Amino acid sequence: MNNTCLTSVDLTKASLSTQIPMATVKNTVRVAAAQMTSVNDLMANFNTCSRLVQEAASAGAKLICFPENFSYMGEKSGDSVKIAEPLNGPVMQRYCSLARDSNIWLSLGGYQERFDDTHLCNTHVVIDNTGMIQTTYQKMHLFDVDVPGGSSYKESSFTVPGTNVVSVDSPVGRLGLTVCYDLRFPSIYQQLRFDQKAQVILVPAAFTTVTGEAHWEILLRARAVETQCYVIAAAQAGKHNEKRESYGDTLIIDPWGSVVGRLPGENLRSYFVTTLSDIFWMQFDTFVGACRSFFDWHYCGRY
């Protein structure tokens, strides 16, 4: 399928239901979130990304976010190790050129960065509109699951976990970087918001259909509410091979926890564009600061 979906949401209007006093909006910026069905073909995946990047840039987006495993989805866990490359390898350089030629920032979550002959790092890469890598984050929480009577998956068997929480300034605000399974660990989001002052948190993911249906949206909305950040969650969707299928449902959520952009799972190889307003960042910075001071005082006084 080659469906293309374009949705534009004005967060200033969407915010009226929150009953938070609004000032005059001075600056807005457009971001795009992509949804795709990656396969075990590096060039085919790049061609899909290239088309979506060019369309998003033409729609005025300053940043487009791609899901985990955007560049490759193997049939077996060892396949990813075989194709893993360093950041200066030809695969990532191809994406750097794409960002430069399209004059847009790229969030590339879940890149297979080579660590050694038997291991890789699941790396979230942010590239600016000049084609330079601005920062990288290596996924800290690895997905290990063993379902009784069912399948098992051990990301830790071939992936080295990261150790650092990472954020970076961008044209759409200060970005906090995470990857997929990190979503289940609130502490990293607290660090991004309160210690590193993130305003927009990125969650590139490849949730399974079972876990996605049960937990995907509720966890994303919880992370947005508890941090008072925008959350952009680009997702893999559909059947990658005979063994693996992803849930999809790419979302952008505002600091109130409202879904302001959605791409349902049946939309494959698509994207949508949403407008973010910096008035939210100013208001919620003040609100969160007050809440943090209260809770710090409350816990200190109680304990």
Looking only at the bridges linking them, the beta strands covering 144-146 and 152-154 are antiparallel
Instruction: Judge whether 197 counts as a catalytic residue.
Output: no
**pTM recorded for the entire structure:** 0.84
Q: What percent of the chain has pLDDT over 70?
A: 77
> Where does the chain have alpha helices with state H?
11-14, 42-58, 77-83, 90-102, 186-190, 209-211, 217-227, 278-302
pLDDT digits (tens, 9 = 90+) for 130-187: 999 999 999 999 987 775 555 677 887 889 999 999 999 999 999 999 999 999 999 9
What is the reported pLDDT for 271?
Answer: 66
Active-site pick, 49, 96, 121, 180: 180
Question: What Cα–Cα distance (Å) separates residue 25 from each residue in 29, 231, 261, 276, 300?
Answer: 11, 20, 20, 11, 37
**Residue 301 confidence class, pLDDT cut points 50, 70, 90:** very low
Instruction: Judge whether 180 counts as a catalytic residue.
Output: yes
Instruction: Judge whether 49 counts as a catalytic residue.
Output: no
Question: Domain spans of the chain?
Answer: 11-302
**Residue 239 confidence class, pLDDT cut points 50, 70, 90:** very high
SS3 sequence of 33-69: EEEECCCCCHHHHHHHHHHHHHHHHHCCCCEEEECCC
Active-site pick, 55, 65, 139, 245: 139
What is the reported pLDDT for 98?
Answer: 99
Question: Please, what is the Cα angle at 238 between 237 and 242, to 5 degrees?
Answer: 135
What is the reported pLDDT for 268?
Answer: 61
Q: Cα separation of 251 and 233, whole Å?
A: 5
Q: What's the chain's average pLDDT? A: 83
pLDDT digits (tens, 9 = 90+) for 45-84: 999 999 999 999 999 999 999 999 999 999 887 899 999 9
CATH class of 11-302: alpha beta
Torsion of CA 59, 60, 65, 69, to 10 degrees: 50
Mean pLDDT for 268-283 is: 59
Q: What percent of the chain has pLDDT over 90?
A: 66
Torsion of CA 210, 271, 9, 98, to 10 degrees: 130
Active-site pick, 55, 65, 68, 113: 68
The residues near 142 (Cβ < 8 Å, ≥ 6 apart) are 122, 155, 156, 159, 161, 181
What is the reported pLDDT for 77?
Answer: 72
